[in-house]
Structure 1
Amino acid sequence: MKQIAIIGSGNLAEALARAVAAADGLRLVQLFARNAARGGEVAALARTEWTDDPRRLARADLYLIAVSDRAVGEVAARLPIPDGAAVAHTAGSVPLAALPERFARRGVFYPMQTFTRGREVDFGEIPVFIEASSPALCDELEAFARRLSRTVIRSDSAQRAKVHLAAVFACNFANRMYALGERIARDAGLDFGVLKPLVTETAAKARDARSPLDVQTGPAARHDAATLERHLALLADDPEMQELYSKISQNIWETSKRT
C-alpha cells in the first residue's frame, strides 16, 4: 500500500493527507472532495491534486474514506473504486460492515485523536485502530499504519466502538467542562486564561498517573458538603447546571468511596 487516495476534506482528512504526504515510502496520489473550496485548500496543504468528479478518481492501492459517520456507506457505494483496491473508513463508531460487500478488500483505519482545521498534529503519537476483512489485508493495513504511527492496534468493531465512546468522555465531554468553566469565570469578570494552568496540570496528572482515579481531587472527592452546597447556591439561577454539578459530584463521591 504505497499509492494512497483520501476521500473527504474535513479535519481528519486534512490531518491524514498531511501525514501521508510527509511519510517515507508513501505517495498521496489524490484527494477527492465534494467541497471545492475546502478540497483545494487541503490538497494544497498536502501538495497533491484533487477532484470532485468521480469520473476522475485516481487509481490507488488504498482509498481512505474520511467523511462523516453517516456518510461512510453512501460515499463508498457511489465511487468507482477499482476492483482489487483496498478501501478503509476512518470512523471510530462505524462497523466494518458499513462498507459495501462489493469491496472484497475492506477495512477500518481509525486514528483516535481530536482534529482541528489548520492545527498540525504529530501523527506518530496517535494510536491507530485497524480492522480488515481478511488476515492478509489486516497485515497490509498494519504495515501501512506503521508508516504513520508508532502505535497500531488490531481491534474489532465492537471494541473500537467502546474505544470511541471512551474518547468522547475523555475529549469531547472534558472540553465541554472547560467551556462551562470559562462561562463561570466570565461571570466573575475573568477570562479562560486564568484556568489554563489548571487545565494543563489536570491533564498532565491524569496522563502520568497509573489511573486518573488516583489523582481525583476536589470537594466531591473529599465529600465537602459545605462547599458543595455553596456551589449549588451559586448555580441557583441555572437548574440545568445545578443538575449537572450534582450528578457529576455524586458520581465522583461514589467512585472515590470504592477506591
Structure 2
Amino acid sequence: MEISFIGAGNLAWHLAPALENAGHHINEIYSRQLTHSRQLVSNLYDAHTLEELNFADSPSQLFILAVPDDALEEVCSRLVLPENAMLVHTSGGRSLVSLEQWMAIYSDVPVQTGVFYALQTFTRGQAPMPFEDVPLCLEASDPATEEALVTLGQSVSDIVYLITSEERRALHVAAVLSCNFTNHLLALAYDLTAREGLEFDLLRPLITETFRKGLAADSPADVQTGPARRGDQTTLETHLDYLKNMPGISEIYQVMTSSIQQYYSPLP
C-alpha cells in the first residue's frame, strides 16, 4: 500500500519503518517540526518530507494522522487530500465520528475514514520496535476501508482487533492506568531513593516480581500485597509521617491507599 504520514513523533518513528519492512511504501512525511520529519525520512527507503499539508498530488492511498489529539481538528482543517483517499487517526481517545465530521466540514473531496490505534508505548529516537506483538485496534467508516485496514494491520502485527470508539476509549483509560500512571509511580520511587542517597537498583527485583506476578495471575487483584491490603494502619501512619513535607506524593499515597482499601473491603 502507498502511505503518507502526517506527524513524525513517537508513533510514526516506529510505525513507518514497520510498515515499510512489511512491504508497504512510505511516500511523504509531514511534521510541524521539519527536523523530526527529516530524521524519520532518513530511516526510510525513499520517502520525502512535505512542508505543507497539501497532499493533492500524492500517490498515497492511506494517510495516517499521527499527531496529538488536541491538534487533530486543526490539522484536518488545513489538510488537502486526493479524492477517495483513506484517512485514519491513531488516537486512543478520539472517536471515529469526530474524524468523519471534520472531513465532512473541511474536505472538498470524498474521504474514507478510520482508526489505526496501536496499543503500545512508543518513544521517538529509540530503535524501531518490532510490531508483531503490538495489538492494533481498528475501526472504519465503511466495509471496504475496514477490509483494507485489517489487511494492512495483519501485515505488521499478529494481534488485530476490530473495536468500537467506546471500547477503544475504555481501553485507552486502562492503558493510561497500567502504563503512564505506573511509570510515573516508578519515577516518584526513583526520586525518593535518590533523595536519601539510595540506589534505585535496590527496587528493581521487587518491581520485576510485581509485574511478573500481576501478569501471570488471573487478575492482578489476586496477588495484591502491602500495608493497605493487609490493613496495617501503623505502617500507613509511619509512611505518611515520612511524606508530610512532600504533599504531592503524600496525596497520591493516600488516594492509592484509600482505593486499595475500598477495593478489598467486604461488600455490605
TM-score with structure 2 setting the length = 0.90
Q: Distance in 2 between matches of 1:160 and 1:216?
A: 27
Matched, 1:8 2:2: no
Aligned to 2:124: 117
The one-letter amino acid of 1:105's match is: Q
Ranges in structure 2 where 5+ consecutive residues have no aligned partner = none
SS in 2 for 1:64: strand
Q: Distance in 1 between matches of 2:206 and 2:34?
A: 41
Asked whether the equivalents of residues 72 and 98 of structure 1 are also in contact (C-alpha less than 8 Å), the reply is no
Deviation, structure 1 residue 186: 1.3
- C-alpha change, 1:122 and 1:204, in structure 2 (3 Å) is farther
The one-letter amino acid of 1:116's match is: T
Asked whether the equivalents of residues 132 and 157 of structure 2 are also in contact (C-alpha less than 8 Å), the reply is yes
Instruction: Spell out, residue by residue over 1:196-215, the C-alpha distance to the aligned partner (whole angstroms, 9 max, x if none).
Output: 22222222222222111111
Q: Distance in 2 between matches of 1:15 and 1:253?
A: 40
The one-letter amino acid of 1:44's match is: S
Asked whether the equivalents of residues 150 and 160 of structure 2 are also in contact (C-alpha less than 8 Å), the reply is yes
Q: Distance in 2 between matches of 1:233 and 1:35?
A: 46
Aligned to 1:29: 27
The one-letter amino acid of 1:26's match is: H
Q: Distance in 2 between matches of 1:197 and 1:41?
A: 37
Asked whether the equivalents of residues 9 and 38 of structure 1 are also in contact (C-alpha less than 8 Å), the reply is yes
Q: Which stretch of the first structure deviates more once superposed, 161-170 or 116-125?
A: 116-125
Deviation, structure 1 residue 21: 1.5
Matched, 1:50 2:49: yes
The one-letter amino acid of 1:245's match is: Y
Deviation, structure 1 residue 77: 3.0
Counterpart of 1:107 (choices 114, 118, 129) is: 114
Q: Distance in 1 between matches of 2:79 and 2:251?
A: 47
Asked whether the equivalents of residues 7 and 64 of structure 1 are also in contact (C-alpha less than 8 Å), the reply is yes
Instruction: Spell out, residue by residue over 1:174-221, the C-alpha distance to the aligned partner (whole angstroms, 9 max, x if none).
Output: 111001111111122113222222222222222222111111111111
- C-alpha change, 1:104 and 1:54, in structure 2 (3 Å) is closer
Ranges in structure 1 where 5+ consecutive residues have no aligned partner = none
Asked whether the equivalents of residues 54 and 81 of structure 2 are also in contact (C-alpha less than 8 Å), the reply is no
Deviation, structure 1 residue 232: 1.0
Q: Which stretch of the first structure deviates more once superposed, 159-168 or 199-208?
A: 199-208
How many residues are treated as equivalent by the alignment? 257
Q: Which stretch of the first structure deviates more once superposed, 138-147 or 190-199?
A: 190-199
Q: Distance in 2 between matches of 1:166 and 1:51?
A: 35
Aligned to 1:158: 166
The one-letter amino acid of 1:124's match is: E
Deviation, structure 1 residue 225: 1.4
Q: Distance in 2 between matches of 1:192 and 1:51?
A: 44
Asked whether the equivalents of residues 5 and 28 of structure 2 are also in contact (C-alpha less than 8 Å), the reply is yes
Counterpart of 2:221 (choices 208, 213, 218) is: 213
Instruction: Provide the alpha-carbon RMSD of the alignment.
Output: 1.8
Deviation, structure 1 residue 128: 0.9
Query: Within 5 Å, which residues of 2 pair with 1:148-187?
Result: 148-187=156-195
The one-letter amino acid of 1:6's match is: F
Q: Which stretch of the first structure deviates more once superposed, 195-204 or 141-150?
A: 195-204
Aligned to 1:126: 134
Asked whether the equivalents of residues 58 and 82 of structure 2 are also in contact (C-alpha less than 8 Å), the reply is no
Q: Distance in 2 between matches of 1:193 and 1:42?
A: 34
Asked whether the equivalents of residues 31 and 43 of structure 1 are also in contact (C-alpha less than 8 Å), the reply is yes
Matched, 1:248 2:256: yes
